[in-house]
Amino acid sequence: MFRLGYVAAGFLALIAVIMGAADSPSVAAYYSSFESRIGYWLLLGNTRHCGLYEKGALSPFPITKAQRKMEEKLYTRLGLGSGKLLDASAGSGYVAMYMAFKGFDVQAIDITPHHLQDARKNVKANGLESKVAVDYGDYHNLTSFAPEPFDGIYTMETFVHADNPEKVLSNFYRLLKPGGVLGLHEADFSRNSEKLQDVLRLSHCQNTLEEGGYERLLSKGGFNEYSIEDLTDEVLPMWRLFGIVGYVPYQIFKVFGIENRFINVMAGVEVWLNWGNGRYISVRAIKP
């Protein structure tokens, strides 16, 4: 087991040295890196969000079942019977498809080309082309949409990437019908260690707000009736797995000073080691 870890670490180290890495990568660079592609595919089947577990659960398996539970959680938090949704950063389309199976029409957007390709392929394979539209779209600029077409807008672990969160929220506000619901499932880091700062910068997650940050942002953006649920304990089993699987390779990368080139390994281990320095939250807000 450990020998395999050393071999894998050596192999990845070689690739890192050959490929190099940026100090502050763009979103596209982060998701297009060899490590992100392999990691998300191998561990998460290209669904790029956390699973939801019972509090106190130890086993993260089966991961896909826990990920569907997280999607179910977002669905219940939205609390909408039917209508039109904007999936504002769909990745490979799994959340959008979940909502479509629940009866919604979904407009899915993303900026990463290979995620869009994947999402289109998955939507087609599931026969959902009439329920899910997949298009390029940056949530900082949604002017191509007429005002107020959506009953609900959600992000699943994507708002953390926003360069200008106020602008993104005001775009969402403009696109929601009055009474429309906003749902955000996001990380929220209040007391970052130095290494966690590195993790956030290297994964282009600069929009992690201090505690109370979401409340301030939402009321400034005109939303009301917001509620925030803390799901941190319920995502721990998956992060524990990342921490354990990545621990040995991460220590080896640190010896060679190349840990910054393996941002997902670093994130998995550092978030686990610094558990409690951040929260996973479910935000729900209504446009008056």
Ligand X SMILES: C[S@@+](CC[C@H](N)C(=O)[O-])C[C@H]1O[C@@H](n2cnc3c(N)ncnc32)[C@H](O)[C@@H]1O
**Closer of 248 and 264 to ligand X (Cβ):** 264
By beta carbon distance, the residue nearest ligand X is 91
**Closer of 119 and 269 to ligand X (Cβ):** 119
The DSSP result for the chain, as a single string, is: -HHHHHHHHHHHHHHHHHH---SS--HHHHHHSHHHHHHHHHHHTT--S-----TT-----SHHHHHHHHHHHHHHHHT-SSSEEEEES-TTSHHHHHHHHTT-EEEEEES-HHHHHHHHHHHHHTT-TTTEEEEE-BTTB-TTSPSS-EEEEEEES-GGG-S-HHHHHHHHHHHEEEEEEEEEEEEEESS--HHHHHHHHHTT----PPTTHHHHHHHHTT-EEEEEEE-HHHHHHHHHHHHHHHHHHHHHHHHHT-GGG-HHHHHHHHHHHTTTSEEEEEEEEE--
Q: How far is the CB of 206 from ligand X (least distance, A)?
A: 11
Q: How far is the CB of 212 from ligand X (least distance, A)?
A: 24
Q: How far is the CB of 187 from ligand X (least distance, A)?
A: 10
**Closer of 49 and 240 to ligand X (Cβ):** 49
**Residue numbers of the site for ligand X (CB under 6 A)?**
27, 31, 47-49, 89-91, 94-95, 109-112, 115, 138-140, 156-158, 161
**Closer of 156 and 266 to ligand X (Cβ):** 156
Q: How far is the CB of 3 from ligand X (least distance, A)?
A: 32
**Closer of 21 and 142 to ligand X (Cβ):** 142
Q: How far is the CB of 72 from ligand X (least distance, A)?
A: 13
